[in-house]
Amino acid sequence: MRELFHPTTDQFNLPTILYALGDPNRLQIIKNLSSQNETTCACCNVNLPKSALSHHFKVLREAGLIYVRLEGKQRYLSIRYKELEERFPGLLNVIIKSE
Amino acid sequence: MRELFHPTTDQFNLPTILYALGDPNRLQIIKNLSSQNETTCACCNVNLPKSALSHHFKVLREAGLIYVRLEGKQRYLSIRYKELEERFPGLLNVIIKSE
DNA sequence: GAAATAGTTCAATTGTTATTGAACTATTAA
DNA sequence: TTAATAGTTCAATAACAATTGAACTATTTC
């Protein structure tokens, strides 16, 4: 794997995004990421085996919620905040701030 | 069935709500409902057999997204706009307006 | 009270998704 | 070049969710 698929903003799809956020583990990941600029997979503070984390990161990435930057032996994760805001203004803020 | 369960606002749960909206059929139902004040199950403009519709309405109702009022032999559906707005301000507007 | 209407529930099926550990790949460090 | 590290992929399983038609319930109308 040398290049990771990231949808363009016009490929963003609302039900897909909501579905991705509809899982408690993934929602937690997004909330955790939102308080950090960029972080590695291991630093997400979600207590799951790495294969499970990998799965959830993939769902989030393919929905367009996170960007995964490859650097050395690590992957740095960040929320695609600007693009999401552009396409679905307000959505992410509501979600991150809730509760 | 004489009384339908509707969660109170403090029982609203974000992942549950997002999950409910993460299904294309249910998202369409919500979008359709948003342009009507109150409507019966049959008037949702979603082309599914009634048993499937009934299932989706239940998921939406139990998540707190819609209110179902029993009157005679019909059920009148409406979005719980005010309560949702109170608990997750902006969420529904983003969703309804998107695309 | 029989028929029509509006919707629910049931049971069966199908399809999808989450979860796991083990094996794997790629990169860096010793 | 070997070992360690960071994460992915695979295969198996288990759990859950969507979909359907048929049977059911409740209400209204004839």
Q: Domain of B33: which CATH number?
A: 1.10.10.10
**A59 domain-assigned:** yes
Do the Cβ atoms of A40 and A50 come closer than 8 Å?
Answer: no
Range of the domain at A81: 9-97
- Give B51-69 pLDDT, tens digit per residue: 999 999 999 999 999 999 9
Task: Please give the pLDDT value at position B36.
Answer: 87
Given pLDDT bands bounded at 50, 70 and 90, which one contains residue B82? very high
Question: Using CA atoms, how far apart are residues B33 and B96, in angstroms rounded to an integer?
Answer: 10
Chain A residues with CB within 8 Å of chain B CB: 14-16, 18-24, 27, 87-91, 93-95, 98-99
Shortest alpha-carbon distance between residue B71 and chain A (Å): 32
Q: Give a yes or no: residue B2 inside a domain.
A: no
- Please give the tally of structural domains in chain B: 1
pLDDT of residue B2: 66
Quick one: pLDDT band at residue A2, thresholds 50, 70, 90? low
Joined together, the tokens standing for residue A4 give: 């990771």
Q: Is the dihedral of CA A84, A89, A93, A99 positive or negative?
A: negative
What does the pLDDT look like over A22-72, one tens digit per residue?
999 999 999 999 998 888 887 788 889 999 999 999 999 999 999 999 999
Q: Are the C-beta atoms of A14 and B98 separated by less than 8 Å?
A: yes
Asked if the structure places residue B92 within a domain, the reply is yes
